[in-house]
Amino acid sequence: MFSTYLEKQKENEIIYQKKLQEQQILKAKIEAEEKIYLMGKFDQSIREDFAPVPDVYNVGGYKMYLRKETLDAFSKMHEAAKKEGVNLAIASATRNFEYQKNLWNNKWNALTIDGAERFKKILEYSAVPGTSRHHWGTDIDINAATIEYFKTPEGALVYEWLNKNAPLFGFCQTYNAKGPDRPTGYHEEKWHWSYLPIAKNLTQKYINLIDKEEITGFLGEEYAPEQNLINNYVLGINSDCF
């Protein structure tokens, strides 16, 4: 009888270890898929949780996609702004790894300064591929991604409206003016707004899952480690966006 009890215990232990192994495999699979998403290594046009940006909002000049929740929130914000005589459009939406890599590499090739300085110069306004919030489908550039536009009367009116009303629709200006509260990261971008109901969680996941050694695959990647990209840039955002 005692031997039967031991056999049963052994059998239960085997079942437990098998279930534990299955859970670990499932967890590893989920984390691998999340890493792919966080680093933008996917085709947004075939994902069911993304939708194309309608032409009425699109001033980017190419087919753009967003997370469905982000697009729905922007649509509501667009209509609210329209009633007050303010026009909101999307100049840039989801940019996957390959798209961001092309942007980065083109800027890298256009500059002739020293490698490390070249890397830092591009980082003033452009994210390293694999670190951009535009990978997530939660972040948009509104109307025009230029300093000049927001210096115009129209741009100033748009920015004033966004500051007052965008948070009501879940959006936050990701890169506000740098200063004591935001000493690191990109320069101020009045055009870049993040849909927080999704982006907050993705920011935390990025911290937990992505290692700096995984940020590779672009020109000048050898200079990436010294820039502390995760702490200084992925997390170098407006404190209201956390």
Architecture of domain 39-241: 2-Layer Sandwich (3.30)
Looking only at the bridges linking them, the beta strands covering 192-195 and 139-142 are antiparallel
Q: Phi/psi zone of residue 175: left (φ > 0), alpha (ψ -120 to 50 degrees), beta?
A: beta
pLDDT tens-digit readout, 107-152: 999 999 999 999 999 999 999 999 999 999 999 999 999 999 999 9
How large a percentage of the chain has pLDDT more than 90?
Answer: 87
**Neighbour-count burial for 21-33, b at 16+ CB within 10 Å, e otherwise:** eeeeeeeeeeeee
- Among 2-11, 58-67, 174-183, the least confident range: 2-11
pLDDT tens-digit readout, 155-203: 999 999 999 999 999 999 999 999 999 999 999 999 999 999 999 999 9
pLDDT tens-digit readout, 86-101: 999 999 999 999 999 9
Q: Map out the domains of the chain as residue ranges.
A: 39-241
**Token code pair at residue 95:** 């940019």
Q: Phi/psi zone of residue 58: left (φ > 0), alpha (ψ -120 to 50 degrees), beta?
A: beta
Do the beta carbons of residue 123 and residue 115 sit within 8 Å?
Answer: no
Residue 21: C-alpha distances to residues 30, 78, 135 (Å): 14, 49, 32
